C-alpha cells in the first residue's frame, strides 16, 4: 500500500493523507472523500504510513499538473500566504488523453506586419531583456510590436500568452489577432459559453493554439513551450485579484518568465511606478495620429455644466462623436436626507447604497443587496431626500433630456453584462449609429474609437483625493487613458472638470516627468521602495474579528526590527455582507521579512493581501 499527501483543490485546509494500491506521480489529480463528500485533490508527495487510519483514494483522473505548474503553485502558496488548495484552484491541469498536434520543426509564417524604424528599435530592445517595459504613447503602435514578437515566437515553435486587464478588451483585440494569425489564436475568458470553452481548451491542450489571449485566467492554462508573455496595460488594477489568493497577474507573469525561461513584456502608455523603477524600459513617443488635442479645464464640482452640454450639442450637430467619463455607475451614488444628513446605507455593509432609477431600487455595489427607493428618511421621516455624485445612468438621462435628437449609449457594467452586448455596443459606436458614449473605467480600457472629437472627464478630484498612496498616479493615468481615446482621426477637445488644473496640466503630456517626481514622494515610505501587506479579519461577530486582529497584532510586535505595523483597526468600510472587518497594515524593506513574520504569527481568521492595491 502507498500513502500520499493530497491537497484538496479550492480548500483552505492543510493536505490530508490517503492510501492507494499503485504508485502515483506528483501532480496527478485524484478523487477522494473529505468529510463524507467527494472532492478532487492533487498528489503533493508520497509519505510513510501514518499512525492514524487513512481513507482510500477513490479514483485517479486523466488530469495532471506539470512540474512547472506545481512549482508555480508552490510560489503562489508561499508568497501570497494561502493553502496549496487555494493556489491549485487557479490552474487548469493537462489532460493525459489529449493527442498533441503534429508540429514541424519550425512553423513557417508569412509576415504582413511592417514596423517603422522606431518600432523595430523598440522590438530589438525588448528582445535583449528577459523582463522589459514598453512605455508607448496611445497610438504609438505597441500592438504591432507585440504581434511581430508573437510571429517570431511561432517561427521558433514557441507559444505566447497575451494578457489584457479585462474581458471588455477582448472583442477588438480578438479581431486584430484573428485577422493576422487565424486559427492560431485562442481567446480565453469567463464569459465564454461552455461549448466555446471546450473548443478553446482542445486547441490549447493539443498545441494548435500558438497565442492565448485573455484576462488574468489565461495565465494559468496548460501550456508547454512558452516563449513570451505580454502584459498589456500593465498599470491596470484589474490584474490584482480581490479574492483569496489575492495575487497580481502581472507579478505572476514575471515569476513565470523565470520559471519557463520566457520573455516578459509589460506595456502601457501610463506605466505604474513599480514597473518604471524595477525594469528596463524603452520610450515610444508620438503615434500615427496627426490630429491635435486641446484641453479645457473647468473649475466645477462633478456636474453636467452648460459648457459641457453646449460642447456635446455642437459635436452632435457636426455629426461627430463624444465620450463622457464618470467614475461612478448607476444614477446617483448615494441618497442623503437634506434635513438630518442621514445617508441610506446597506443593511449588511457600512456603505451608502447607489440609486438605480431604471429598476427603481437602491443597490449595494459591495454585496449586491437591493431594496426599493425609500420615500422618507428612516431616521427623521423627512421627505427631503437628495442624491450626491453623478452616475452614468443619471448622466445618460440628463443628456438625453437636453439633447433629445442624440443617440446615447451607457457603457458600464450595469449596461454591458455580456461579451455579445459589448461587441454590439462597440460596433454601434464605431459604425456611427450612436453619438455619445457615457461610461466608467471601461471607456479608458484601450478600446479604439475612431471618430471621437470630444472627451468629457468628470470626477477627477474624487480620484485625486482618495486615501491611497497611488491616488495621483491613478487620477493622472485615467485622464491620459480617457483623453487618448479621442482625436484619432480629427482634432479633438478634452473638457476636464477639476479644481486641480495645475497638477493635471503640468503632467498631461509629461507622464515620464510625473513618474520621476513621484519617486521622491514614495521613497522610504511606499512601493516600489517598500513592501506592504494588508491583513484582513472579518466575522459576523465584530468582537471576534477585533480580538483576532488584536491577537495577531500583539504577536507581530516580536518582529518590530524588520516589520513595521503602520496601523491597525477598523477597515474604512467597517461592514460588508453583514461581516465586521478589521485590518492590520504592515511595511517592510523585503517581502521575505513580511512572509516570515506573518507565517509565524498568523491566526486562523487572517486573510493575507500581499502588495495591496485597495485600501478602502
Element (H, E) at 124: helix 117-128
- CATH H-level superfamily of 117-284: P-loop containing nucleotide triphosphate hydrolases (3.40.50.300)
Cell numbers of 158, please?
Answer: 514557441
Contact 176, 143 (CB under 8 A): yes
pLDDT of residue 563: 96
Please spell the DSSP secondary structure of 169-225, one letter per residue: GHHHHHHHHHHHHGGGEEE--TTS-HHHHHHHHHHHHHT--SEEEESGGGGGS---S
pLDDT of residue 516: 95
Instruction: Find the mean pLDDT for residues 425-435.
Output: 87
Please spell the DSSP secondary structure of 53-77, one letter per residue: --EEP-EEEEEE--HHHHHHHHHHH
Contact 460, 497 (CB under 8 A): yes
What is the pLDDT of the chain when averaged over all its residues?
Answer: 88
Give the residue extent of every domain in the chain: 2-95, 117-284, 293-329+391-522, 332-389, 531-610
Instruction: Find the mean pLDDT for residues 487-509.
Output: 89
Q: Is the pLDDT of residue 390 over 80?
A: no
Give 81 or 490, the one with higher predicted confidence. 81
pLDDT of residue 602: 95
pLDDT of residue 321: 92
Please spell the DSSP secondary structure of 513-578, one letter per residue: HHHHHHHHHHTTTSTTSSEEEEEEEEESSHHHHHHHHHHHHHHHGGGTTTEEEEEEEEEEEEEETT
At 574, is the pLDDT very low, low, confident or very high (cuts 50, 70, 90)? confident
At 171, is the pLDDT very low, low, confident or very high (cuts 50, 70, 90)? low
pLDDT of residue 417: 73
**Cβ of 465: how many Cβ atoms within 10 Å?**
11
Q: Is the pLDDT of residue 365 over 70?
A: no
pLDDT of residue 508: 93
For the chain, percent of residues with pLDDT exceeding 70: 90
Q: Is the pLDDT of residue 350 over 80?
A: no
At 331, is the pLDDT very low, low, confident or very high (cuts 50, 70, 90)? very low
- CATH H-level superfamily of 2-95: PriA, 3(prime) DNA-binding domain (3.40.1440.60)
Q: Which CA distances in Å does 108 have to 105, 146, 156, 210, 288?
A: 10, 18, 9, 13, 30
Ranges 178-182, 537-541, 582-586, 592-596: which has the least confidence: 178-182
Q: What is the CA radius of gyration of the chain?
A: 26
Q: Is-same-fold flag (117-284; 293-329+391-522)?
A: yes
At 330, is the pLDDT very low, low, confident or very high (cuts 50, 70, 90)? very low
Give 499 or 28, the one with higher predicted confidence. 28
Cell numbers of 115, please?
Answer: 514596423
Instruction: Pick the closest to residue 328 from 353, 298, 345 (CA basis).
Output: 353
**116-165 per-position pLDDT tens digit:** 999 999 999 999 999 999 999 887 889 999 999 999 999 999 999 999 98
Instruction: Find the mean pLDDT for residues 390-404.
Output: 87
pLDDT of residue 108: 53
Ranges 63-67, 218-222, 438-442, 560-564: which has the least confidence: 438-442
At 353, is the pLDDT very low, low, confident or very high (cuts 50, 70, 90)? confident
Q: Is the pLDDT of residue 391 over 90?
A: no
**CA-CA-CA-CA torsion for 279, 504, 463, 235, nearest 10 degrees?**
-20
User: Cα 165–170–243 angle (5° rounding)?
Assistant: 35
Architecture of domain 293-329+391-522: 3-Layer(aba) Sandwich (3.40)
Report the distance separating Cα 348 and Cα 23, nearest Å: 50
Ranges 120-129, 225-234, 481-490: which has the least confidence: 481-490
Contact 184, 154 (CB under 8 A): yes
**Cβ of 323: how many Cβ atoms within 10 Å?**
26
Instruction: Find the mean pLDDT for residues 460-489.
Output: 84
Give 280 or 483, the one with higher predicted confidence. 280
Instruction: Find the mean pLDDT for residues 581-610.
Output: 95
Instruction: Find the mean pLDDT for residues 191-206.
Output: 88
Q: Is the pLDDT of residue 106 over 60?
A: no
Q: Is the pLDDT of residue 105 over 50?
A: no
**306-318 per-position pLDDT tens digit:** 999 999 999 999 9
At 286, is the pLDDT very low, low, confident or very high (cuts 50, 70, 90)? confident
CB neighbour list of residue 403: distance below 8 Å, 6 or more residues apart? 309, 312, 313, 316, 436
| Total length of the chain | 616
Instruction: Pick the closest to residue 471 from 121, 237, 135 (CA basis).
Output: 237
Report the distance separating Cα 430 and Cα 451, nearest Å: 7
In sign, the C-alpha dihedral spanning 67, 68, 72, 75 is positive
How are beta strands 2-8 and 16-20 bridged, if at all? antiparallel
Instruction: Find the mean pLDDT for residues 178-187.
Output: 89
Q: Is the pLDDT of residue 186 over 70?
A: yes
Ranges 166-180, 259-273, 395-409, 567-581: which has the least confidence: 166-180
pLDDT of residue 12: 93
Report the distance separating Cα 185 and Cα 160, nearest Å: 10
**23-60 per-position pLDDT tens digit:** 999 999 999 999 899 999 999 999 999 999 999 999 99
Instruction: Find the mean pLDDT for residues 440-464.
Output: 81
Contact 64, 35 (CB under 8 A): no
Three-state SS string over 71-119 comes to HHHHHHHHHCCCCHHHHHCCCCCEECCCCCCCCCCCCCCCCCCCCCHHH
- DSSP assignment letter at 412: S
Q: Is the pLDDT of residue 325 over 70?
A: yes
At 411, is the pLDDT very low, low, confident or very high (cuts 50, 70, 90)? confident
- Which residues lie across from 229 on neighbouring strands? 161, 264
Instruction: Find the mean pLDDT for residues 599-612.
Output: 95
- CATH H-level superfamily of 531-610: Ribosomal protein S10 (3.30.70.600)
Query: Which pTM was predicted?
Result: 0.87
Kindly give the interhelix angle for 471-483 and 511-522, rounded to the nearest 10 degrees: 170
Q: Is the pLDDT of residue 378 over 90?
A: no
pLDDT of residue 372: 82
Cell numbers of 588, please?
Answer: 517592510
Give 131 or 385, the one with higher predicted confidence. 131
Q: For residue 416, how many C-alpha atoms fall within 13 Å in the half-sphere facing its CB?
A: 27
At 486, is the pLDDT very low, low, confident or very high (cuts 50, 70, 90)? confident
Q: Is the pLDDT of residue 107 over 60?
A: no
- DSSP assignment letter at 352: B
Classified as helix, coil or strand, 463 is: helix
Instruction: Pick the closest to residue 335 from 393, 376, 284 (CA basis).
Output: 376
Report the distance separating Cα 5 and Cα 154, nearest Å: 39
Cβ-in-10-Å burial (0-12, 13-18, 19+) of 458 comes to buried
pLDDT of residue 435: 93
At 282, is the pLDDT very low, low, confident or very high (cuts 50, 70, 90)? very high
Amino acid at each position: 500500500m502507498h500513502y500520499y499527501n493530497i491537497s484538496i483543490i479550492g480548500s483552505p485546509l492543510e493536505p490530508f493523507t490517503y492510501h492507494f494500491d499503485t504508485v502515483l506521480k506528483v501532480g496527478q489529480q485524484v478523487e477522494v472523500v473529505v468529510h463524507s463528500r467527494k472532492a478532487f485533490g492533487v498528489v503533493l508527495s508520497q509519505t510513510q504510513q501514518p499512525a492514524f487510519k487513512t481513507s482510500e483514494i477513490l479514483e485517479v483522473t486523466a488530469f495532471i499538473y506539470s512540474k512547472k505548474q506545481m512549482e508555480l503553485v508552490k510560489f503562489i502558496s508561499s508568497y501570497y500566504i494561502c493553502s496549496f488548495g487555494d493556489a491549485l484552484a487557479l490552474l487548469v491541469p493537462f489532460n493525459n488523453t489529449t493527442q498533441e498536434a503534429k508540429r514541424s520543426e519550425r512553423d513557417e509564417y508569412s509576415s504582413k506586419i511592417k514596423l517603422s524604424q522606431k518600432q523595430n528599435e523598440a522590438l530589438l530592445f525588448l528582445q535583449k531583456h528577459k523582463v522589459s517595459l514598453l512605455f508607448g504613447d496611445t497610438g504609438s503602435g505597441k500592438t504591432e510590436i507585440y504581434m511581430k514578437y508573437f510571429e517570431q515566437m511561432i517561427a521558433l515553435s514557441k507559444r505566447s500568452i497575451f494578457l489584457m486587464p479585462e474581458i471588455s478588451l477582448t472583442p477588438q483585440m480578438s479581431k486584430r489577432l484573428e485577422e493576422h494569425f487565424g486559427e492560431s489564436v485562442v481567446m480565453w475568458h469567463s464569459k465564454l459559453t461552455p461549448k466555446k470553452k471546450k473548443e478553446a481548451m482542445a486547441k490549447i491542450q493539443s498545441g494548435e493554439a500558438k497565442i492565448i489571449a485573455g484576462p488574468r485566467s489565461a495565465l494559468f492554462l496548460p501550456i508547454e513551450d512558452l516563449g513570451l508573455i505580454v502584459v498589456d496595460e500593465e498599470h491596470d488594477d484589474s490584474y490584482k485579484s480581490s479574492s483569496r489568493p489575492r495575487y497580481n497577474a502581472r507579478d505572476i507573469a514575471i515569476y513565470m518568465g523565470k520559471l519557463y525561461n520566457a520573455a516578459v513584456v509589460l506595456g502601457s502608455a501610463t506605466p505604474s511606478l513599480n514597473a518604471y523603477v524595477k525594469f528596463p524600459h524603452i520610450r515610444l513617443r508620438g503615434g500615427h495620429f496627426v490630429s491635435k488635442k486641446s484641453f479645457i479645464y473647468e473649475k466645477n464640482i462633478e456636474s453636467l455644466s452648460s459648457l459641457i452640454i453646449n460642447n456635446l450639442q455642437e459635436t452632435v450637430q457636426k455629426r461627430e462623436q463624444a465620450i463622457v467619463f464618470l467614475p461612478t455607475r448607476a444614477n446617483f451614488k448615494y441618497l442623503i436626507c437634506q434635513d438630518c444628513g442621514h445617508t441610506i446605507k446597506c443593511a449588511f455593509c457600512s456603505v451608502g447604497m447607489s440609486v438605480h432609477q431604471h429598476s427603481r431600487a437602491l443597490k449595494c455595489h459591495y454585496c449586491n443587496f437591493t431594496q426599493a427607493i425609500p420615500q422618507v428618511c428612516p431616521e427623521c421621516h423627512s421627505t427631503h431626500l437628495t442624491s450626491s455624485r453623478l452616475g452614468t445612468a443619471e448622466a445618460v438621462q440628463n443628456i438625453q433630456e437636453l439633447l433629445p435628437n442624440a443617440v446615447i449609449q451607457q457603457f458600464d457594467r450595469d449596461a454591458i453584462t455580456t461579451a455579445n452586448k459589448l461587441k454590439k455596443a462597440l460596433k454601434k459606436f464605431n459604425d456611427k449609429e450612436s453619438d455619445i458614449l457615457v461610461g466608467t473605467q471601461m471607456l479608458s480600457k484601450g478600446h479604439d474609437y475612431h471618430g471621437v472629437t470630444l472627451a468629457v472627464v468628470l470626477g477627477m478630484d474624487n480620484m485625486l483625493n482618495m486615501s491611497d498612496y497611488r491616488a495621483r498616479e491613478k487620477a493622472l493615468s485615467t485622464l491620459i487613458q480617457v483623453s487618448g481615446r479621442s482625436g484619432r482621426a480629427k482634432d479633438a477637445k478634452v473638457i476636464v472638470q477639476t479644481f486641480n488644473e495645475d497638477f493635471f496640466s503640468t503632467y498631461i503630456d509629461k507622464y515620464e516627468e510625473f513618474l520621476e517626481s513621484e519617486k521622491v514622494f514614495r521613497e522610504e515610505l511606499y512601493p516600489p521602495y517598500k513592501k506592504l501587506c494588508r491583513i484582513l479579519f472579518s466575522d459576523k461577530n465584530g468582537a471576534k474579528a477585533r480580538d483576532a486582529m488584536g491577537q495577531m497584532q500583539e504577536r507581530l510586535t516580536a518582529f518590530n526590527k524588520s516589520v513595521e505595523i503602520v496601523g491597525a483597526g477598523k477597515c474604512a468600510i467597517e461592514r460588508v455582507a453583514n461581516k465586521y472587518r478589521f485590518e492590520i497594515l504592515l511595511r517592510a524593506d523585503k517581502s521575505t521579512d513580511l512572509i516570515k513574520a506573518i507565517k509565524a504569527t498568523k491566526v486562523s481568521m487572517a486573510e493575507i493581501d500581499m502588495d495591496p492595491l485597495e485600501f478602502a
